[in-house]
Structure 1
Amino acid sequence: MKLFLKVRSKITPIGLIASSFDESQSWLKKEDDLEVLVRLIRLIRPSKIKKIQTINLKEIISFLKENDFCRKQFSIYIKEILQDKKFNKILSDAAILQDVDFIFEVKKRIFAKFLPYQPQKNTLEYILNQVFYKSNDSLWINTIQSSQLEELYVLLEFKSIYETTEPNSSLSELLVAMSLITQRISGRAMETDVLKMVPEFDDFESPFGAFERELLLMEEKIRSSEQHYIKRDDLSYAQLLVLHKQCEEFVDKAFHNSSKYGISLRVNQNLLKIRQQLIRLKYLIPLLIIEKENDKKTNGIALALQLIKYNCYKNNVRKFIAESTQLISYEITQHTAKTGEHYITETRSEYFKMFRTALGGGLIVGILCVIKVLLSKVEASYFGHAFFYSMNYAFGFIAIYLFGFTLATKQPAMTASALIKALEEGLIKQGRDSEKYEAFAILFARVFRSQFIAFVGNVIMAFPISLLGIWLIDYTLDYNIAATKWESLLTDLSPIHSLAILHSAIAGVFLFLSGIISGSVANRDKHNQVYFRIAEHPGLKRSLGKVRTLKLAKLYEKRWAGIIANFWFGIFMGSIGSIGLFLGLNLDIRHITFASGNLALGLYGANYAVSNSMLFWGIFGIGIIGLVNFMVSFSLSLGLAFRSRAISLFEVKFIVASIWNHFKSRPISFFFPTEKKNKSVIVENYLSSEVKE
């Protein structure tokens, strides 16, 4: 038995061909027609595809040349499998977005990974699903030398795809697929939401309709001619390329206009599908062109390779998510970048203005800390406490926002996008690479010191306000509200006696999410023209007057996204603890400003009789909590900003190196404004351009 397994494990592709297609013709006795082909591809397929540079078929080709009977039998076998197999749906559907519902499409592709959809057996898609069933099969197939593929094409006596245009023939399937794609593009491009993105085309004929008509004329020409193909110098081919280019410009313009009009996920998916279909046509149109006789062979091979590739990639989830979310994330980070520019201080006056607004933020947070302790005394369910805490946080954060105060940890999510926007726009890409990274480091130093002074302002104000609040309650009501909670308030600040680091990281995630919500709401309102609709609302203009209605619209445009983001940030912060209790998990949040207030409450609750160790870890914990808040929210926002602008993460190491070099040469600039005016022309150009906007 062991000997049998050993011999069987050593079977080679040549051995399989020889045993299946010799004079015994064992392939005819197989119940499953595809069994031999599946086994053959399994033997050729490399075990580690990423490490394979090329797949060599030289031995198989040599064997077929030397064994004419096996070659003929193998040729008959392959032709019988492929005969009259439909494949137009692979060309028109595979690896192209099928549903504009993002969530539905993701679920469908993930489900298909585990339980692939199987088409009818009379289709080529069924054969490819059985033979090339691995998603990375096209990678190793593309490493096979084209000369070897051409030799196999000749040895297996494949006919040209241009011999006939009869139904189910290869050329007919190709033409049907192209026609189907074009009709779908025309219909989708005429949808109202898509046309709204490109008002520049309102007075022109749709390029998609013209392209569809031109392709139909070319198809009729190919089907009616004896050659069944066209030359490169054919005027219809040149016209088709021009119209295809115009269609691409239409889509590009629509995506570009998203910064003006905003874009919904549905419109994004529609445009993405049109772009994918145009790219598909770009690959298929050249297959109709023949200049020399050898082109018939190369085009037939190219068609086969494309069919395998499209079928392998049809359920690719990662690529779909990346393509679908890039533009939306770009628009979101565009909004956060514009907001973040206001959090970057340059001059000393701006620096101390940031300090004053941070003091205001600390004042409100100090009050919130006292209110939360009072709310904890209320007898309520987990849901009740989650609701009370959430409303406390939410309305407090909204008040900070509306009064123009600063909550330090909300800045990183905004300033990260502003930094990447500066890098992406090229405003700091002038000159040599060393100069652009040096300029970026200077801008980062300004961001860091802005965060630092905001931290300082929040912390030094939250502490005395919380202390004053708890003292006033004790003085007037003779009730120390923190008498039973002081130990937990102080212990929760320690990074070694509690999960303060994890909890501060959770807060950092929520800070990042609040920035996403702000950008998402602003983008949605822009796309839905909410500002314009309020300004021109007939009922509002009649009751409030045109001037007040316009002011209301401007106020909405300026503030609403921030209000919603702060509201949800409060919900996140207030409910996570109760959710953790409900699930039996130690979940909570730690925020540097609230940590400062809680330190004051804990000290008062203990009548200041705390050990030096507890006091040290409480103060040290505040710094650690602030650092983790900053690192998590900033890194997540930075990653999203890189992703949205398709900037390679390879840039990060140069950025980090330039920041470190700048810190070594000018460490004070990371904490206090020291640059002279016009120190960096590149940075000044960036900042001045933002002021103009």
Structure 2
Amino acid sequence: MAVSFTKKKKVTTIDVLTDYFDNNKRWEVTIDPLEILVKIVASIRPKNLKKTNEIDLTDLLLFLKKNKSITNQFSSYLKGLLFEKKISRILSDAAILQDVDFLFEVKKRIYAKVLPYQHETDTLEFVLNQVFYADYDPIWLSKIPINQIEELYELVGFTSLYESAEQNSVLSELMMSMSLIAQRMSGRALESDVLKMVPEYFHFESPFAAFEKELLLIQDKIKTKDNKHFTTSESLYYKQLFILHKQCEEYVEKAFQNSSKFGITLRVNQSLLRIRQQLYRLKILIPLLVVDVETDKKKNSIRLAYKLIKYNCTRNNLRTFVKESTQLLSYEITQHTAKTGEKYITQSRSEYFKMFNTALGGGLIVGILCVIKVLLSKVETSDFGHAFLYSMNYSFGFIAIYVLGFTLATKQPAMTASALVKVLEDEIKENGNSNQKHQGFAVFFARVFRSQFIAFVGNVIMAFPISLLGIWLIDLAFHYNIAETKWNTLVTDLSPVHSMAIFHAAIAGCFLFLSGIISGSVANRDKHYQIYQRIKEHPFLKRSFGKEKAEKFAHWYEKKWAGIISNFWLGIFMGSTASIGVFFGLNLDIRHITFASGNLALGLYGSNYTLDNWMLFWGIFGIGIIGLVNFMVSFGLSLGLAFRSRAIPLSEFKPISASIWRHFKSKPFSFFFPIGTIEVHHEGGDKLP
């Protein structure tokens, strides 16, 4: 027997209206009154938003015009459903930060995405959560022509929000939400941590307090007007309110600008971000109190409805929250790394060879660390014990490299990427969209690349002989070849073909990027909490060691501490990865170009120089690949963060890459050696080679 399947016809809005309102008052006995509105919205909501340019309600409007009985019942249904529904919390809370704790806000939004909070049934939030529950609902609603919305508004017989200012009326709820936002802003702006960011306002009256008073004056006048519950754009009170609003915005912007001077914490950043969001919300709501011509009543009422739906749908938007919350902090962090990165970018020949010498010093310490790590692997302890020992080996070694002024090549990309973007930002400001900005960036990139190149060379060529010397001395003194049983693993792990060296090198690149983030965040935090000044003026230190020594220690702390913490955590990350991988049953480890060079030397000696040619080839080739992946991952992540922190569009990558390629074709050796100079200037007016 043949079975035929027919495509189910989509239920239209007219079908829903006919089903529920064709028989007089049938809808009143519906189990759930919201069911009708849910079905109506579902019948209009497009399945494919990208393919929908416009949503046409012509058929619905014609149907309502021809069927007055259904229209009247539908009107009664909607008015009954929305009667005295509270809207103040949507306007004052939805899509605005409610807590300055970043992680708590993230967790709360994720949880609300999975299991949305359901409000009291007498609130509009309850209705909207049931009807407009999709994030993209505000987008498709905006695709309905406004003239059709206005016609539907009149057909259904809605009244404007200015009909009454009594308690529980729409206008009363609107003004209540505005007052609540103003009070919250004023209180938050007067907190000590926020006031600290704007010392310029310390001896003046808070613009937020003045704004709150002016808003109350306007609201009192609107409430007392007979049958005219609105103001006009020509009102002096209204104009004064916007002047004060502008002053509040300037206050917040000044606080954000001062972050480079005073530093900023995530908590203060969240407080300022919340005030900024509240100011923007008021900027949207205040014009709803204004009616200049009669048609404004209808337009403002519809505009308020749009905003209510949008705010409720976007209240748990996680992507926007994270983006707004981290942009300023990432800027301050990359500002620090940009300043630190400048010392890693050579210009003259003397700087070039000085970088080579410091890289040799870094390679010397890493060569020693390679030998120590093999010795630590002989210690009989747990995986946690090995993680601790390896981490301390790496950490103290990296700190020694940093304190002694040596260079670890792969630490550079996280710093130099920020310096590169800083130059690009300056070039954009100076030259606009001309090709010259990309030319300057390409020249600067050549400087960065050759600095990286010579640092890699210095690290690798020193780590190899030092590791070889170390294992030979131990064998000479104790007649014990420490790599005799591990040489095969040490060499095989370098091969990009016979091991997961590329993946492990990428993990190391991520850790190198994170170490740069840690350095910038620690420096930013210390600046905000004035740690330098606290140490300098500490009464115990001045009394015990003298004012001059206390100041020297404070200066040393300001200059070195962020780097020490950064290198300490880099060591923890790199030393514990393998043990964490063992714990979870995953093939996790790190590969670093300088350590790879030392491990090749240890493997060579451990095998008594019996490595076959292919094994040696893949080992040497693997060192180059590991270094390249270390650089690409660390540099790429840092460059992306720096671009984002300065709001530079990713579309800049294409012309930048083309400019770098053109410069490479014209002067390829400048990417490896300090050959020649050209007259290109960047910040400070220095010439770039």
Give yes or no for contact 1:259–1:331 (8 Å, CA) kept in 2: yes
- C-alpha displacement of 1:425: 3.4
| Alpha-carbon distance between aligned partners in 2 of 1:427 and 1:75, rounded to the nearest angstrom | 56
Q: Does 1:581 align with 2:586?
A: no
Aligned runs of 1:26-65 on 2, under 5 Å? 26-65=26-65
Q: Hey, what does 1:400 align to over in structure 2?
A: 401
Kept in 2, the 8 Å contact 1:427–1:682? The answer is: no
Task: Give the corresponding residue for 1:611.
Answer: 612
- Using the TM superposition, name which of 22-31 and 549-558 deviates more: 22-31
Distance 2:194 2:384 in 1: 43
Counterpart check, 1:592 vs 2:593: yes
SS of equivalent residue, structure 1 residue 513: helix
Alignment check: 8 A CA contact 1:449 1:672 kept: yes
Residue number in structure 1 paired with 2:204: 204
Which residue matches 1:388? Answer: 389
- CA change 1:23–1:477 in 2 (3 A) is closer
Structure 1: 5+ residue stretches without partners: none
What are the equivalent positions in structure 2 for 1:477-626 lying under 5 Å apart? 477-626=478-627
Residues 593-623 of structure 1, C-alpha deviations (whole Å, 9 max, x = no match) = 0000111111111111110000000000000
The structure-2 alpha-carbon separation of the partners of 1:265 and 1:687, relative to structure 1 and needing over 3 Å to count, comes to farther
Alignment of 1:266-281 (within 5 A): 266-281=267-282
Question: Matches of 2:164 and 2:7 in 1, distance apart?
Answer: 46
Contact 2:263 2:528 in 1 (8 A): yes
Q: How large is the Cα RMSD of the aligned pairs?
A: 1.7
Q: Could you tell me how far apart the structure 2 residues matched to 1:102 and 1:410 are?
A: 29
Q: 1:176-325 maps to which residues of 2 (within 5 A)?
A: 176-226=176-226, 227-325=228-326
Is the alpha carbon distance of 1:662 and 1:37 closer, same or farther for their aligned partners in structure 2, counting shifts above 3 Å? Answer: same
Q: Which residue of 1 aligns with 2:340?
A: 339
Contact conserved, 1:535 with 1:553, CA < 8 A, in 2?
Answer: yes
SS at match of 2:681: helix
Counterpart Cα distance in 1 of 2:77 and 2:675: 79
Q: Is the 8 A contact 1:439 1:680 kept in 2?
A: no
- Separation in 1 of the partners of 2:647 and 2:220? 42
Q: Is the 8 A contact 1:365 1:597 kept in 2?
A: yes
Task: Provide the C-alpha distance between the structure 1 equivalents of 2:683 and 2:157, rounded to a whole number of angstroms.
Answer: 68
Equivalent position of 1:110 in the other structure: 110
> Does the aligned pair in 1 maintain the 2:426–2:682 contact within 8 Å?
no
Spell out, residue by residue over 1:19-73, the C-alpha distance to the aligned partner (whole angstroms, 9 max, x if none).
3222443322311111111001001000011332211111111111122111111
User: Compared with structure 1, are the counterparts of its residues 674 and 7 closer, same or farther at alpha carbon in structure 2 (3 Å cutoff)?
Assistant: closer
CA shift in 2, pair 1:426/1:249, >3 Å:
farther
TM-score (norm 2): 0.97
Q: Any idea what the Cα deviations from partners look like across 1:330-364, whole Å, max 9, x if unmatched? A: 11111111101111111111111110100010011
Separation in 2, partners of 1:545, 1:5: 92
Give the Å deviation of 1:416. Answer: 0.6
- Contact 1:428–1:682 (Cα < 8 Å) also in 2: no
Relative distance call for 1:70 and 1:331 in structure 2 (3 A) is: same
Superposed, 1:60-99 pairs within 5 Å as: 60-99=60-99
C-alpha deviations, 1:501-551, integer Å up to 9, x for none? 111111101101100110110011011100011111111111111111111
Task: Give CA-to-partner distance per residue, 1:533-576, whole Å, 9 cap, x none.
Answer: 11111111111111111111110000000000001111111111
1:336/1:687 CA distance change after superposition, 3 Å: farther
Q: CA deviation at 1:687?
A: 4.6
CA distance in 1, matches of 2:685, 2:326: 27
2:169 matched residue in structure 1: 169
Is the contact made by 2:681 and 2:687 (CA closer than 8 Å) also made in structure 1? Answer: no
8 Å contact kept, 2:427–2:440:
no
Residues 679 and 687 in structure 2, CA contact (< 8 A), matched pair in contact too = no
How far apart are the structure 2 equivalents of 1:179 and 1:318? 29
Q: Which residue of 2 aligns with 1:158?
A: 158
CA drift of 1:426 comes to 4.0
* CA drift at 1:661: 1.6
Q: Secondary structure at the match of 1:681?
A: strand
- Counterparts of 2:42 and 2:4, CA distance in 1: 20
Q: Secondary structure in 1 aligned to 2:50? A: helix
Amino acid in structure 2 at the alignment position of 1:489 = L
Partner AA of 1:151 in structure 2: E
* Counterpart in the other structure of 1:133: 133
Q: Report the CA distance between 1:217 and its aligned residue.
A: 0.6
Deviation of the 1:585 alpha carbon: 1.6
* 2: CA distance, partners of 1:11 / 1:519: 57
Deviation at residue 433 of structure 1 after TM alignment: 2.2
How many angstroms apart in 2 are the aligned matches of 1:71 and 1:684? 68
Deviation at 1:680, TM superposition (A): 3.3
- The amino acid across from 1:683 in the alignment is H
By how many angstroms is 1:683 displaced?
Answer: 3.3
Map of 2:148 onto structure 1: 148
- Cα distance change of structure 1 residues 587 and 60 upon mapping to structure 2, 3 Å threshold: same
- Tell me by how many angstroms 1:7 deviates: 9.0
Q: Secondary structure at the match of 1:173?
A: helix
Q: Secondary structure at the match of 1:425?
A: helix
Residues 428 and 440 in structure 1, CA contact (< 8 A), matched pair in contact too? no
Match of 2:160, SS state, is: coil
C-alpha separation between the residues in 1 aligned to 2:436 and 2:7? 65
Distance of 1:436 and 1:118 partners within structure 2: 53
Q: Distance in 2 between matches of 1:19 and 1:385?
A: 72
Find the counterpart in structure 1 of residue 631 from structure 2: 630
For the structure 1 residues 25 and 516, does the alpha-carbon distance in structure 2 shift closer, same or farther, using more than 3 Å as the test? same
- Give, in whole Å, the separation in 2 of the partners of 1:191 and 1:425: 35
- Compared CA separation, residues 462 and 237, structure 1 to 2 (3 A): same
Contact in 1 for aligned 2:97/2:274 (Cα 8 Å): yes
Distance, in Å, in 2 between the alignment partners of 1:90 and 1:52 is 28
* Contact 1:339–1:414 (8 Å) recurs in 2: yes
Give, in angstroms, the shift of residue 257 of structure 1: 0.5
- Cα distance in 1 between the residues matched to 2:3 and 2:22: 24
Aligned mates of 1:432, 1:499 — CA distance in 2: 43
Q: 1:454 — aligned with what?
A: 455
CA distance in 2, matches of 1:568, 1:161: 58
Any stretches of 5+ residues in structure 2 without a counterpart? none
Quote the sequence identity (%).
66
SS of the aligned residue for 2:482 comes to coil
Cα 1:428–1:72, aligned 2, differ >3 Å: closer, same or farther? closer
Count of paired positions:
686
Change (3 A) 1:3 1:39: farther
CA distance in 1, matches of 2:251, 2:429: 30
Q: Matches of 1:626 and 1:236 in 2, distance apart?
A: 66
In 2: Cα distance, 1:178 partner to 1:284 partner: 7
